[in-house]
Amino acid sequence: MKRLINIFVYTSLLLPVISNGQDLPVLRLDTILQRIDKNNVLLQSYELKAKSFEYSAEASTAWMAPMAGLGTFMTPYPGQKLMDDRDKGNLMLQIEQDIPNPVKQRAKKQFIASQGNVERANRDISLNEMRAQAKRLYFNWLIAHERIKVLQENESIMLTMKKIEEVRYPYNQSLAGNVYKAESKIEENRNMIRMQQGTIAKARSWLNSLMNMAGNASFEIDTTWQPVFSPAASYDTASLALLRKDVLKMNESIRSMQLNIESMKLDRKPDFRIRFDHMTPLARMMPQAYSIMGMVSIPIAPWSAKMYRNEVKAMQFNIRGMEKERSAMLQETQGMLYGMQYEVQTMQKRIDGMEQTIIPALKKAMDLNFLSYQENKMSLSNVIDAWEAMTMMQMNVLDEKLKLYEMIVDYEKQLYR
């Protein structure tokens, strides 16, 4: 029993250590994008708005509540002289009901329901914006990780030089200032690492907010993944119209306005009303009576038709304007995407040249200078200059890569906007 208690105690002490040593979850970019699509609160609001239009459409087919009234009919004022008992008047019950035109109701229902599709198109536009933002944050994190890796590798070189200076100094083979100079470069390098760590923390927090997670939730990204530029097969306006979310929204808005026009045209059809009156005379000898009346509106009257006819014309001109705007948007996007594609391809060639030619040359120069320095044939200052040149070029390449990744994000955002 005592042995079991000891095992339990040791296990309890080790559990926090084991849990702290567990690896953080690694989220790929597509996983993050899926979670944004599923969990983002703002995106959920669009679906709720779309649902509200569905219920509003159903509500539009309801009839107005009947009106009921109770009072007197043809009742003389007090103090009047009555010539006959029947002059006492009547008690009257009145019931009235509006009967809407079912054709007009169906048309209005279709118009209101179509506005839900506009809200869903708005959701797609917001999702495209969030996807672009998430990609930028992800790529900033990716490049920051690469910068830290380069800086840590280069720091090891500077640490080696500092140790060499510390060994040489007692034998008067080095100056004391060289040790402090190497130490300052090491600290400067570490400050750059801290800056990149701050970039990673910022990107993690923003991505958590987009995924509707706690801002301090910890996770890592797949640092082995690299974005690849995949240009669209065609930039014709018909293909772009199927891809772009803002064009989809415009199409849905035009369709909704067309349904509204059809609904407004039906205003020329009449509506109906029925009224029932029941009268109970106050005189005993008079019979009970009733009245039933059916009524119909006359919307074709000139003073009434003027309103919906002009509204229909105004809506038709609005649709024509939106169609012209859609054509101009697609034409502008076509030229923009061609330009962005050439810009991305040029940037890729620049980065390839820097990685394949310039950086290898600077590394060879650094290695030769460091070898001469170890043999005490070169001063520390010359080696530091070569080290700084190599580090600066490696950072420049990563800066260019980040620009390239952001250009790819902008291209994809414009393609699916």
Per-residue tokens: 255: 């369709």
Position 19 confidence tier, pLDDT thresholds 50, 70, 90: very low
What mean pLDDT comes out for the span 63-82? Answer: 86
| Domain layout of the chain by residue ranges | 29-75+84-415
Q: What is the pLDDT of residue 230?
A: 83
14 pLDDT tier (thresholds 50, 70, 90): very low
Average pLDDT taken over every residue of the chain: 83
Q: Taking the C-alpha atoms of 111, 114, 116 and 118 in order, what is their torsion angle to the nearest 10 degrees?
A: -120
Please, what CATH class does the domain formed by 29-75+84-415 belong to? mainly alpha
pLDDT at 2 over 60: no
Is 30 or 9 the better-scoring residue by pLDDT?
Answer: 30
DSSP for residue 222: -
- Predicted confidence (pLDDT) per residue in 188-217, tens digit: 888 988 998 999 999 999 999 999 888 888
Confidence of residue 143 (pLDDT cuts 50, 70, 90): very high
pTM: 0.80
DSSP result, 58-86: HHTTPPPPPEEEEEEESPPPTTPPPSSGG
At 171-188, the pLDDT tens digits run 665 666 677 777 888 888
Mean pLDDT of 61-87: 84
3-state secondary structure of 283: coil
What was the pLDDT predicted at 267? 80
The predicted pLDDT at position 374 comes to 79
Give the Å distances, CA to CA, from 372 to 36, 170, 335, 389, 391. Answer: 54, 20, 55, 17, 19
pLDDT per position as a tens digit, 88-119:
888 999 999 988 888 888 888 888 888 898 98
Q: How confident is the model at residue 145 (pLDDT cuts 50, 70, 90)?
A: very high
Percent of the chain with pLDDT over 90: 19
The confidence score (pLDDT) of residue 60 equals 85
Q: Is the pLDDT of residue 10 over 60?
A: no
Chain centroid offset of residue 248 CA? 16
Whole-number pLDDT of residue 236: 79
Q: Which residue has the tokens 């239009």?
A: 53
